[in-house]
Amino acid sequence: MANPLVVFDCDGTLVDGQHSICTAMARAFEEASLVAPDRLAILSAVGLSLPHAMARLLPDADADFHAHLAERYKLAFQALRRENAVSEPLYPGMADLVHDLDRAGWLLGVATGKSDRGLALCLTHHGLIDRFVTLQTADRHPSKPHPSMLLTAMAEAGASPDTTVMIGDTSFDIDMGLAAGVRSIGVAWGYHAPDELIAAGAQAVAMDSSELRRHIGAP
């Protein structure tokens, strides 16, 4: 029998990293002598792997320049860490939800555009990393909405599409979930508007962690 699995996106779903993301992106563009995109444009690309995000933000540039900007972003984010300036607070109620799902027998995973290192640092900081049995990042997979992250998460957890739930704040998360054949639930507190999530095919959009708990079917 397949195991029950809940897979969370990270930025915009578990944690609010928008300040650090926007700051690092602005530095990356400025160091390349470019005008930085506005905050809403940056947040609209969160969830994609970095080269894909750069392509969305700078569509007229070529792939080599997108890769160059992606490296500048990584260096800018690393500099923020050295400055102790990275801010990634958990959204209200998410720590309790993770703990309660774990205690109730759900297996837990993350599928994120973050790097392996960035995700590990984030989850370790919040004392949650041991709750997750599968961690999938942009370091080892094609960008969302390709289903690779979810397919690997299910394989590692011994889950199947009909026992898996994807939770995310962007249309990329919902598209990935549907491509993998899993139930996909949006959250309204992240970086894409609820109507975008519904239009992408989300089964529901939770307005807070209590509503998300009910949609998952958690205790």
Q: What angle do CA 14, 92, 13 make, to 5 degrees?
A: 20
Please tell me which residue in 11, 16, 173, 175 is annotated as part of the active site: 11
**Helix (H), strand (E) at residue 100:** helix 94-103
Is-catalytic flag, 9? Answer: yes
Catalytic, out of 9, 16, 169, 175: 9
What is the distance between the alpha carbons of residues 125 and 214, in angstroms, rounded to a whole number?
27
Catalytic (active site) residue 139: no
For residue 202, give Cα distances in angstroms to 54, 66, 150, 167, 174: 26, 30, 16, 9, 6
Per DSSP (E only), the strands in 60-197 are: 107-111, 134-136, 159-168, 183-187
The residue ranges of DSSP E strands in the chain, in sequence order, are 3-8, 107-111, 134-136, 159-168, 183-187, 204-206
Which residue type occupies 95?
A: A
Which residues participate in catalysis according to the annotation? 9, 11
